[in-house]
Structure formats: C-alpha cells, structure tokens
Structure 1
Amino acid sequence: MGNISRYLPRDFIEKVKSSTDFVSLVSEYTNLKKAGKGYVGLCPFHHEKTPSFNINPELGLYHCFGCGKGGDIFKFVAEKENLTYYEAVIYLARKNGIPIPTLSPKESSEIELLYQIYEFSAAFFRRQLVSDVGREARNYIIERGIRKDTIDMFQLGYAPQEGNSLFKSAVKEGFPKDLLLSSGLFKEKNGQVVDLFWDRLMFPIFSATGRVLAFGGRVISPNDTRPKYLNSPETKIFHKSETLYGLNFAKQYIRETGRALLVEGYMDALSLYEAGFKNVVASSGTALTPSQARQLRRYTENIIIVYDGDRAGFTASIRAIKILLEANFLVKLVRLPPESDPDSFVRKDGKEAFLALLNSAPDWFDYLVSILKKKYSLVEPANSILWVNKLAPFFSSIKDPIMLGAYASALGSHIHIQPDEIIQRIKSARDTRVEIQNTKSEIDPSKKRELRIFYSIFCGTECVAPSEIEKYKEFFLHYPGILERVLEEIKEGRNLTLDQLYQFFVDEPDAQSVFSQFSFSSLPPPPLSEQLRELREFVIMDNIKKKRDSLRVASAKGDEGEQIRIMEEINKLYRMLISETQINTA
C-alpha cells in the first residue's frame, strides 16, 4: 500500500501506538514471562517447545529467533489478524477508543473507499429494515426467534424491492460511480445501474476486526423462485475462501471456551449465538477452505463440526475433517437428525438438548469408525485393509507424529494390525512431514546490508550528513526509492525514529523482520560510514563475480572481442575498489 503516513496522520499513528499495551496485546495470543528488560514466550507464529519469541516493550518491537518473524506492534496485529498494516492501525485505534481521522475521497485509498461503501450500505440496509418497507423482513426474523439485540449486533438489514435505491443513495452521498460499480454491489442492466440485492434479508459479512466486507442476502417469501441465498462477489477487500462469518463476534468466546463450533449457514450461526453458544462461526455459505481453517486455528485447537443432518451436510463434514486435521485441529462432530440443521434443531429441541449433543460429540476417528463398522464388517478379514484405505486420507492429514501414532494404535486395536504397519502404509502413499516447517528464510546479503544502514540512520546513534549518504546512492540496488524519501526527511530536518522506520517499510515484511533482529542484538551496529563503505565494496565485488562468470561463457564460445570488453569492465571495477578518492574527495 505504500507509506502509511500518506493515508493517516503521523501523530495519529503515534497516539495509537503509545495507547496500546504491547505486552497485554501479545499475551492474548501467547503466554509471556519477564526476562530482563523484556519478555519471552512460545512463538505465536510457529510451533515450538522452547521459547524463542522476544518482546522489547521499550522499543515496541518483537522478534522470534526460531522462525525469524519480527516487527512492531502494527506488524504483529497484521500478521495475527490477517490484516494490512493500515488495517492494523485502524484495528488498534478502535480497540483503544481512539477516533479515526476522516479522510477526503482524494486522501482515501481505493481500498478504504470500498470499506466506506460497504459500511454505508450496511447502514442503508439497517434503516430499511426498521422502516415500513422492511415489515415482512422483520416478521421473518421474529418468527425465527432472533431478538432485537442480536439483530442490532449482527447489523441485519433489508434490501428493498426498488431496484436501485441503494445506488441512488450512494451517489447522493458522493461515492464515485466507477468505484460503486467495482464494489460488486451494483450491475449495469439495459444502460441503467441497478442494485445487486433487492427484496432480501441482508447479512453483513465482517472481517475479523469488525469491518463490513460483503453481504449475504436471503429471500423472504417461500414463493420467491430466485436462489435462496445470494452472496457478494469477490472484491479487493473480500475473499470468500478466507472469511468466516461471525468470527469478529465469536473470537473472544472461542478463546474463553477453548473451542469453536463450525456451522454452514448464516441463520445457523445467528440461532446458536442467540441460544448462548457464542463461540460459533460459519463458513459463509461455502465449503470450508484451508485458509478459513488456518485463520480459525489462531484462536483454538479444538473444534466441533455441526453441519446439517442431510446427506450434503454429511459429505461436507467429511471433507472438513481432512482440512481441519491439516490445520492441526482436534476435531469432533455432531451428527444432527436427518432434515435438521443447527438453526431448526436449537429452536425446536432447545438449548439443553443441543448442549447435550455437544458434550457427547465423538472424536472424528470414533465417528468414522462407527460408520465403517456398519458398512464393512471385520468378520471379513479383507475389510481390515479396506478400513486402512478408507482412513488413510485422514491419517495423511495429521502432521503431529505422536497424534498419528495414537490414532494408528486405536485403529490397530480394531483391525488387529500393528500401528507401525499402518503408519508405513500411509507413508508409502505420501511423503510424511512430521514437523511444522520452519518459516525462517535467508535474505539477500546485499539487501540486508542496505537494511542495516537504514536501521542505523533511524536509530539516531550518530549523525551523518545527507550529502555523505548520497555519495553511495548508486550502491543501493534494492531500496533506492525509500532512500530518496529518507534523505528528503533528513534534509527537511525531521526527527527520525524506529517507529517511522517501520512505516517506510510497511510493504516489506522481510525488512521488518530484519529490523527486529537488529533491535534484539546485543552488539551495536558498526559506524554508518563504515557500513556505507562495506556496502560499496560488496556491490562492486558482486559485480566482478558476475563479470567473471560472463567472461567464462565468452571464453567457451571463443568470442575474443567480448572477452576483451568484459576484461576492461572488470579492470574498471577493480580500480573503483582500490580507490576511495571517488567517494571521499569533497
């Protein structure tokens, strides 16, 4: 997105950061212990047994020496909540009750304007629901047993029958027509712009931080022949496969209860929330995706699947098991009676009956074994191998070797086959990966040298004139644009801090991790002048190496002219290397 300070005032960003207790915030995701001036804990970004995650509250930085992730408080929130850096600032501002600055359309990014269009639309639909035109929709909700406080919390609304009322209101509000068309809420028909949703009960779909991303619309009349549900198309702010309906409301209760309930539809989630099961999320009317599973895994490792009781619900739950196992969940299932869904069951049978189902929910393995027993009797010896083959795809999804061994032992006790033989059969079908991959990656050495120079500039440990840095501009191969902006800041006499350093590199996650690594180093950075000379030497030597490679190719081809030209370039580079006069003369 570029430099965040172009979209939000710098003093606003500073206020948000100073108002947030970094340690308390991170403690929502992992347990921290005091260690010297900082805190340590198990990394919330990768699986580990020995704490390697460090926080420096004084600097407002974190770094994991295991996976290499690091950054400031906004980067942490962005990583954990799947947000952009900009959205992380807004998220923390709202969390701390800090008013968001109002930006004009020219100042707002396209992304921010899309958010504003969807929030405006949600408010429009809410107004229609409580007006005379929304009477039928209100009656429908009341009949489903949804109370007013739940309606208000989930911001349910109504899209009126008039086919372009939202569009007219949005244009009157001042939103650009081209952006309205790209929002997915409108379409052109016979030369006219019309609303995508009309005569539907509207369910706003929120991000994990509570911003409206999209809508789901349901027909109200049983005589309506249109598809029962209609969802917003994907946009720059809405990716269906990555969004869980109700997560913004449920995440607190998921952490408190230690488990999540996974349902299919909007009304299922609403009815369970209404009944007091507030740790419920829905897969937004689509089959569960790996991205949704990974997002939910940030809040708990325990999940209960509560899909519809029909054949389609059974098939969807079987598919969901594999995806959830791949995401390292402990999975249980509730099988509802045929023709029942969570919404109808809890309304008909009540809260206590549903709670009893949850408390007796079998583990995924026991659930599947009960099905296999009915279909493939172990009286037939050949069915033992059939059991292994049927369960192999699920076992293959398990990454933890101890858990895999436990399930292999459980299966072995049923079919009288040794667990090692079961595991070996599974391994032969795929390459077992028993450890979560280390996400730490090596960064280009020349890029790291440039980043260390930027870090030293913003640390403020020494003063170097812009003219001195400018002599080395040609050797900044990775971040020349950022260098120009930094030099402008220095020339204008602005005070540079580490907080601002992260804002300059907001779109460079590798850079932010390197900066956090530097901040936790016990060794001070070398003098800036020395680093500049080292960068120059490194770049020149790297060019010489590349020229030598080219020389070997030219020699193999017998191209004497090309060899002479390359040798001259190599000699020129060597003269640059041994002579500092080009850099140090005034």
Structure 2
Amino acid sequence: MISKATIDTVFETARVEEVIGDFVQLKRAGTNFKGLSPFTDERSPSFMVSPVKQIWKDFSSGKGGNAITFLMEHEHFTYPEAIRYLAKKYNIAIEETEKTDEEKATADARESMYLVSEFAQRYFQDVLHNTEEGKAIGYSYFKERGFTSDTIKKFGLGYSPEGYEVFSKEALGKGYQLEFLESTGLTIVREDGRMADRFRGRVMFPIHSMSGRVLGFGGRILTNDKKVAKYLNSPESDIYHKSKVLYGIFQAKQAIAKHDNCYLVEGYTDVIQFNQAGIENVVASSGTALTPDQIRLVNRLTKNITVLFDGDAAGLRASVRGIDLILEEGMNVKVCTFPDGDDPDSFARKNTHESLVAYLESNAKDFIRFKASLLMEEAANDPVKKAGLIRDMVTSISKIPDRIQREIYVQETSRIMDISEDILQNTLAQIFQKDISEAGKKMKQAEKEKAFEVVRNETPETLAKVDILYELERKIIEMLLLYGNQDAEFEDVLLKTNEEGEVVEVAEKKEYKVYQRIYLSLQEDEVELANPMFRGIYNDLIGYFNQEETFALDQYLQRLPEEFQHEVTSILMAEEREKLDNWEVKQIYVKQKDQSIGQYVSETILTLRWFLVSGIIEELKSSISPEPDADNSEPLSLAMDYHKLINSFSRKLGRVMSRYT
C-alpha cells in the first residue's frame, strides 16, 4: 500500500494543467486554460482547467475534479495506478506502508514480473529495429502487412531472435533473475537446467493491461513449420490471465469511451489494421472464447459492443455463442460480417477510413436479425430445425436483464420469424422457470415493482420552490468551499434594554470564521440542507474545518468521496463557466463575491431563512379551516409571528416582501 507521505508529496507536486496538458491541447484563457472536451465530441471548448484552484471541469459531460480524478476518468486508472503514474511523471520515490513479510514477497514478485515483461518488450523492439535479423525478418513482415512505422511503435511490436537462449542470456546479463523469467513464461527451464527462449524466431505482440503495463506476449512464427503452433501466447501467470485481458484495450480505451461503442475482433492484426485505418475503438479476444471478465472490461467504458466476424460460416456459428454472454452483462450487441474471403484485417487494408466507417454503419445488424439470417439458411424449409432456431433466439433474449429490452426483442423475433408473440412469451416463461434461481426471481419481482412506480406530477409552483431551495443550498456549499476558513466581519443584532427601559435592537460587529458563522446560523434555526448531495458535502466540509487548521483545496479533494467530487468541481468552476461563455460581452455582469464576504454570507443565510419561513406560513395558511365555527386562532397567531420575522428579514435585506411569496 502506498504511504500517505508519498500520496501527499504527489498531490503537492503534481500540477493539474501539466497533467491534463499531456492529453488535451490547452489554451490560455485569462488565469485559466480551456480546451475541447476529451470525453465528448464538440467544436467549441467547454473544458476548463484552473491552475489557481488546481481543478478541472468539463461542462459538456459534467465531469470534474483534480489531477487524480482526471487520470481515473480519462485513462480509467484505479486510484493507486493514478498515484503511481504521477509519481513516475514527477520522479517521486514511492514509499510503501508496512506489510507482512509474505505480503512484501508477493508484491515484490509481481513487480519483478512486470519489470521483466517491460524489459522484454524493449528488447524485442530493439532487435526488430536495430539488428539485421530483426529488420530482415520481423520488420519486413510487419511492412508486408501494411503497418507503418508509427503503428509498429504505437503497439510496441518487436521480434524475438532465432537463437536458442539469446534473450534469456541478455536478460540475465542485465540483472534480471531467472526465477521471474521463468514465472512470466519468457524462459523455459528444462529438467537438465538448460534454458530456452519461449518465443524464439517470432514476431512479438505485447499484451497490455488497461493502465498500460505489459502483462504477456503473443508471438507469431513466420515459417511454414507445421510441427509448431502458428501463434504462441505467454502462459498463465500471477500477472497474466488471458480470460481477463483484451488485446488493444490500453490503446482503445479513450476512443471506446468517447464513441460509446467498442468493436470486438478476433486477432492482433485485426486490431492493429483497424487502428491504423483510423478506427481506434477496437479490441480483440486474441483467439480465445469470449469470457465474462473480458466483457466487463468493455462494460467499464461503454454499454455498446459491435462484434465483427469474417465471412466464414463455421467460424460465425462458433463465435456467435459469445453474444449471449454479452447480453447477460446487460450490454447492447450488434454484429457485422465482412464479405466472403475477408476478415477485419484484410477489409481494412482494402478500404479508406471513410469507406470502412460507412460499411460498418450500414452493415451492423441487431443481434436478433443477425442470428435469424445466419441460422435460417440452415433451417430452410425444415420445421423441426426452424423450431430449434426460434428456441435458440428466445434463449438469447432470456439472457437480457432489462425487461423492456426483452419485450422489444420478442416483438422483433415474432415479426421476423412469423410466429405469435404469445408463443414466444410462453417459451420465454418456460426458460425462466427452468433456469432462473431464487435470487433471479427476487430481481424479477423488483423489476416488476419498479415498472409500476408512479412518478408524482409536480406542479410548476412546487418545481419553482425546489429550484430556489436548490440554488440557496448550493450557494452555502460554494461559500464554504471558497471562503470557509477565512475570517470575515459579521453584524449581530442583539436585543438590549436602553436607558428608558425599552428593549431595542442593537447591531454589533464581530469576526468569525465563515464556516463557523454558517454552522451557527443553521444550528440556531435547526436547519438541515434538503438536498442529499449538498447535505453530505456540508457535513463533510464542517467536519474537515473542525479537524484541520488550514484548508487546502487539493488535499480536501483528495479525501472527498468520489460521488461528491463532480458536484464540488461544478460549484468551484462556476465563475470559469461564466468566463467561458463570455457573459460580459453579452452584457450579463456577475457580482464578484469576494468584494464583501461577510455581507454575501449574511444575505444568503437570511434569504434561506426567508424562503423556509415563507414555506411555513404557506403550510399554516393551508391548515386554516374555512368553517365559520372553526377555531383558527393558533395558526393565525403563528402566521402573524412568522410574518414579523419576514418583516425583519425584509428590513435587513432591503427587499420587498413579495419576492418569495
């Protein structure tokens, strides 16, 4: 586990504009930077970075945070991966907290395996580019496949020389231990103690994790020797589990999230050729049967998968089984096939980017239509086979967790197969009865209850009041974030007896911390913020101010729960949004709140009180009985008392009473 001291050093050192500048082209905009959103397609910049506040906000997607959250959103790093990335960027040594000897040994072993794998990638690349054998065999092969130098570099492609133990000796000579060369599968140690390079004489495809670490390799032999496998993969290890990895996910993750779709192919060269053709949101299952873990990797980035198959019918029938697994994960599936004799690799080579995109868009079919067209050829006029086909399609539909989607697909199947919906629904029910467990039944019941929920129809008047309360509570959070730990002068109105014995209001000025004044004011009125998000942030902020002597925004964001971070950055970057929209040019002038912090805080608290008291008065009015003999003295008396409060607020604010009534 990374020590707190290291994390603190990373936060103190990292500059949000430098970190984001590695991924987004930023331009100076006053004291801030602006750029195009990396999360959506847009032509006008809505992405703002504040070097002063050390935060960013993407107004088109609603995302925001600090340098760490940007890496987690954009690069899909985990929190520790983001810390390690920044530590490496700024040359910060990572200290680990105390672990047991067993934990240290395990962590050290895994890290050693990563280091060995990363050395191997650099070595294979060097051989490819800088040796006669590598250039003559490996580089020539890649060029024949149509790969450019930039593409070869982007995917880290390499070549492992023919020699029996050339790589192993080189690694040992560089100080890497045989234990980890063997555990990663790069070196095979025979019973007699002799070493052998696993991938000798093969072009090399490194396989990366989502964060970019090298997990293993795929190697392709270039001779026609039928005694050896054409493709050879690294064996399973502590860092490489082929059922949990997708080839190309590191290079594709940003494009997948941006386009909200992932193309799934079979082989390494399919991915590379598509990428080179300008379609970067593509990954491969690397020749293995698709697994739930692989699908969940994509599910972190998008709900949409388009499976690309070549024109081989036998291969199609084998591969189509993976579609049911995708449906089970609640994802949307389309299927696209290529003409006979073509696979994604060859088709991408033959076509321009525009032609390829057009083909994919026009030929991607919904999985029901695809399955029907594929299997109907086999069924032809055989009623028994057709019945089997229909059951197969209904089985696929039963995998879909969303009830509405299932209903739509049942209707579509009914139309395509010319069979009644009732029969399909009955078949679906039989499948559910047979296959769904008790947990599944409970989930189905929950979905049923949810489907019959009635959404209350709010009146415009109610919605307007909710909006006012939302804005006032949001302002309170804004004041805490911007000025919470600052000292400001506030006016207290006290009741005192004068020389004539009359009770009068006397104004006294006192200095408070802003957060103390806000807290005391809300406590005095026993007010709790209505919005759950604001209430959570408020409680977190008050706790932070009471525990810490100073308020450092970057440190606060570091500890803030993730569900609060987007809202906090939205509030903090509100003024930057005004500048982004160039409001002053449109003759919309925004008050600079730091001109009089005490006055701004007092006005906001008084306005909130006014709004809440107005609500109480309305409730009292509605409780007054219209009956002639009814005793309404109590609600009328209370309403009069609350009206006096309104008058007091009005005097203090210098506003007319009708504003919120």
Report what 1:362 is aligned to. Answer: 365
Deviation at 1:295, TM superposition (A): 1.1
Deviation at 1:267, TM superposition (A): 1.1
Question: Equivalent residues in 2 for 1:236-255 (5 A)?
Answer: 236-255=238-257
Report what 2:110 is aligned to. Answer: 111
Name the CA distance, whole Å, in 1 between partners of 2:258 and 2:73.
Answer: 22
- 2:246·2:285 contact (CA, 8 Å) conserved in 1? yes
Report what 1:373 is aligned to. Answer: 376
C-alpha distance 109-4 of structure 1, shift in aligned 2 (>3 A): farther
Report what 1:423 is aligned to. Answer: 425
- 2:376·2:386 contact (CA, 8 Å) conserved in 1? no
**Matching residue's letter, 2:365:** P
Report what 2:258 is aligned to. Answer: 256
- 1:91·1:209 contact (CA, 8 Å) conserved in 2? no
- 1:246·1:281 contact (CA, 8 Å) conserved in 2? yes
Per-residue CA distance 1:415-465 (angstroms, 9 max, x = gap): 4544354234213312365679xxxxxxxxxxxxxxxxxx99x957359xx
C-alpha distance 496-181 of structure 1, shift in aligned 2 (>3 A): farther
> Among residues 300, 303, 306, which one is paired with 1:301 in the alignment?
303
**Number of aligned positions between the proteins:** 433
Deviation at 1:310, TM superposition (A): 2.4
Q: Specify the SS of the correspondent of 1:461.
A: helix
Deviation at 1:207, TM superposition (A): 1.3
**Residues 1:149 and 2:150 are matched in the alignment:** yes
**Residues 1:461 and 2:546 are matched in the alignment:** yes
The range that moved more, 104-113 or 154-163, is 104-113
Deviation at 1:240, TM superposition (A): 1.2
> Among residues 9, 12, 27, which one is paired with 1:11 in the alignment?
9
C-alpha distance 164-515 of structure 1, shift in aligned 2 (>3 A): farther
**Residues 1:86 and 2:89 are matched in the alignment:** no
**Matching residue's letter, 1:461:** N
The range that moved more, 399-408 or 356-365, is 356-365
Deviation at 1:180, TM superposition (A): 2.9
- 2:10·2:83 contact (CA, 8 Å) conserved in 1? no
C-alpha distance 365-308 of structure 1, shift in aligned 2 (>3 A): same
- 2:257·2:301 contact (CA, 8 Å) conserved in 1? yes
- 2:307·2:333 contact (CA, 8 Å) conserved in 1? yes
Deviation at 1:54, TM superposition (A): 10
Name the CA distance, whole Å, in 2 between partners of 1:348 and 1:211.
Answer: 32
- 1:163·1:194 contact (CA, 8 Å) conserved in 2? yes
**Matching residue's letter, 1:153:** K
Unaligned runs of 5+ in 1: 45-52, 61-71, 437-454, 464-493, 506-510, 520-586
- 2:184·2:234 contact (CA, 8 Å) conserved in 1? no
Name the CA distance, whole Å, in 2 between partners of 1:387 and 1:371.
Answer: 10
Report what 1:181 is aligned to. Answer: 182
Report what 2:121 is aligned to. Answer: 122
**Residues 1:132 and 2:110 are matched in the alignment:** no
Per-residue CA distance 1:137-179 (angstroms, 9 max, x = gap): 1111111111111011111101011222222222222223323
Ranked by relative contact order (alpha carbons within 8 Å, sequence separation 6 or more), the top structure is: 1
- 1:265·1:283 contact (CA, 8 Å) conserved in 2? yes
Q: Specify the SS of the correspondent of 2:222.
A: coil
Per-residue CA distance 1:477-531 (angstroms, 9 max, x = gap): xxxxxxxxxxxxxxxxx9999999999x9xxxxx989999xx9xxxxxxxxxxxx
Q: Specify the SS of the correspondent of 1:210.
A: coil
Report what 1:409 is aligned to. Answer: 411
The range that moved more, 406-415 or 210-219, is 406-415
- 1:307·1:335 contact (CA, 8 Å) conserved in 2? yes
Per-residue CA distance 1:157-214 (angstroms, 9 max, x = gap): 0101122222222222222332333222112122123322111000111111222111
**Matching residue's letter, 2:175:** G
Q: Percent same amino acid at aligned positions?
A: 33
Name the CA distance, whole Å, in 1 between partners of 2:246 and 2:324.
Answer: 18
Deviation at 1:30, TM superposition (A): 10
Question: Equivalent residues in 2 for 1:3-82 (5 A)?
Answer: 3-5=2-4, 8=6, 10-12=8-10, 14-16=12-14, 73=68
C-alpha distance 5-121 of structure 1, shift in aligned 2 (>3 A): farther
Name the CA distance, whole Å, in 1 between partners of 2:352 and 2:249.
Answer: 24
Name the CA distance, whole Å, in 1 between partners of 2:550 and 2:112.
Answer: 32
Q: Specify the SS of the correspondent of 2:337.
A: coil
- 2:3·2:95 contact (CA, 8 Å) conserved in 1? no
Q: Specify the SS of the correspondent of 2:333.
A: strand
Per-residue CA distance 1:343-376 (angstroms, 9 max, x = gap): 2233356656644431222211111112343333
Name the CA distance, whole Å, in 2 between partners of 1:106 and 1:152.
Answer: 34
C-alpha distance 291-214 of structure 1, shift in aligned 2 (>3 A): same
- 1:263·1:342 contact (CA, 8 Å) conserved in 2? yes
Name the CA distance, whole Å, in 1 between partners of 2:212 and 2:371.
Answer: 37
Report what 1:440 is aligned to. Answer: none
**Matching residue's letter, 1:163:** Y
Report what 2:280 is aligned to. Answer: 278
Q: TM-score, normalised by structure 1?
A: 0.62
- 2:10·2:86 contact (CA, 8 Å) conserved in 1? no
Per-residue CA distance 1:266-310 (angstroms, 9 max, x = gap): 111112222222222111231211111111122223322113332
Report what 2:216 is aligned to. Answer: 214
Q: Specify the SS of the correspondent of 2:301.
A: coil
Name the CA distance, whole Å, in 1 between partners of 2:285 and 2:349.
Answer: 21
- 1:259·1:279 contact (CA, 8 Å) conserved in 2? yes
**Matching residue's letter, 1:336:** F
Question: Equivalent residues in 2 for 1:188-203 (5 A)?
Answer: 188-189=189-190, 190-203=192-205
Name the CA distance, whole Å, in 2 between partners of 1:163 and 1:4.
Answer: 43
C-alpha distance 228-394 of structure 1, shift in aligned 2 (>3 A): same
Q: Specify the SS of the correspondent of 2:348.
A: helix
Q: Specify the SS of the correspondent of 1:328.
A: coil
- 2:262·2:282 contact (CA, 8 Å) conserved in 1? yes
**Residues 1:160 and 2:161 are matched in the alignment:** yes
Report what 1:315 is aligned to. Answer: 317
Report what 1:584 is aligned to. Answer: none
Name the CA distance, whole Å, in 2 between partners of 1:149 and 1:385.
Answer: 52
- 1:122·1:155 contact (CA, 8 Å) conserved in 2? yes
- 1:378·1:415 contact (CA, 8 Å) conserved in 2? no
- 2:299·2:331 contact (CA, 8 Å) conserved in 1? yes
**Residues 1:333 and 2:335 are matched in the alignment:** yes
Name the CA distance, whole Å, in 1 between partners of 2:169 and 2:554.
Answer: 43
- 1:186·1:196 contact (CA, 8 Å) conserved in 2? yes
Report what 1:292 is aligned to. Answer: 294
**Matching residue's letter, 1:117:** V
The range that moved more, 147-156 or 12-21, is 12-21
Deviation at 1:340, TM superposition (A): 3.0
Name the CA distance, whole Å, in 2 between partners of 1:219 and 1:186.
Answer: 17
Deviation at 1:13, TM superposition (A): 5.1
Report what 1:535 is aligned to. Answer: none
- 2:376·2:389 contact (CA, 8 Å) conserved in 1? no
Report what 2:349 is aligned to. Answer: 347
Q: Specify the SS of the correspondent of 1:399.
A: coil
Name the CA distance, whole Å, in 2 between partners of 1:502 and 1:39.
Answer: 12
**Matching residue's letter, 1:175:** Y
C-alpha distance 100-366 of structure 1, shift in aligned 2 (>3 A): farther
Deviation at 1:12, TM superposition (A): 2.6
Deviation at 1:333, TM superposition (A): 1.6
